[in-house]
Amino acid sequence: ELKVLADVGLLGMPNAGKSTFITQVSNARPRIADYPFTTLHPNLGVVRVGLERSFVIADIPGLIEGAAEGAGLGHRFLRHLARTRLLLHLVDVSMFDVNRDPVAEAIAILNELKKYDPALYDKPRWLVLNKTDTLAPDDRAARIADIVARFPWKGPTFEVSALTGEGCVALCSEIWKSMVEHREPEPDDGVVDVRFEHDD
């Protein structure tokens, strides 16, 4: 049995914003650039959610169609994801490229998970709609509603901007609560105090 790499693994296409997200919420400082595959190895970050409350998050190289057959970083990527407890599926909701369909990209990724390992596909997974800061206020609600309606998804869904931090505190609070629920019972005062740890 594989040893757990991290509590949370980030799943998404190249440039979905995974490196920006882990930088926003944790002490990790991965390389970030505007081209695919800037992440070649897993980057681990510790997310602090209060005194003696933390979880480990892994930014793993972006997935492309055909990964189950070894395309891109292929099996190496998928093997790392199998060593996490919860997957955050980051989807780029920006509208910069009119020819890019975020729903088609998200479905392609889920197909790769299923082809590689049904157990990985069945792992707890949350949908995180990222780059909301790029949407005009008048377009945002319709854009989000369209994506949610077309993506066959019934699980938890969050809207965030990894760049500005919008929604990230609430998301990490929910992750911590989920981690507590699935661990051995521990004393809990019911208060979640989210403080992100950043290096100076």
Task: Give the pLDDT score at 37.
Answer: 43
The answer to whether 62 and 14 are in contact (CB under 8 A) is: yes
pLDDT at 116: 77
Q: Closest Cα to residue 31, out of 15, 47, 46?
A: 15
What pLDDT, on the 0 to 100 scale, is given for residue 36?
45
Residue 51 pLDDT: 79
Task: Going from the first residue of the chain to its last (200 residues), give the mean pLDDT of each consecutive group of 10, the final group possibly shorter.
Answer: 74 86 82 47 81 84 54 56 88 92 92 82 94 94 95 93 96 93 59 47
- The reported pLDDT for the residue numbered 136 is 94
User: How much is the pLDDT for 168?
Assistant: 96
pLDDT at position 11 is: 87
Q: What pLDDT is stored for residue 86 in this prediction?
A: 94
Instruction: Please tell me the distance from the alpha carbon of residue 141 to that of residue 118, in angstroms, as a whole number.
Output: 33
Q: Which of 80, 109, 70 is nearest to 92 (CA)?
A: 109
Global confidence as pTM: 0.80
Strand segments (E) across 12-95: 43-48, 54-59, 84-92
pLDDT at position 200: 41
Rounded to the nearest angstrom, the gap between the alpha carbon of residue 59 and the centroid of all alpha carbons in its chain is 8
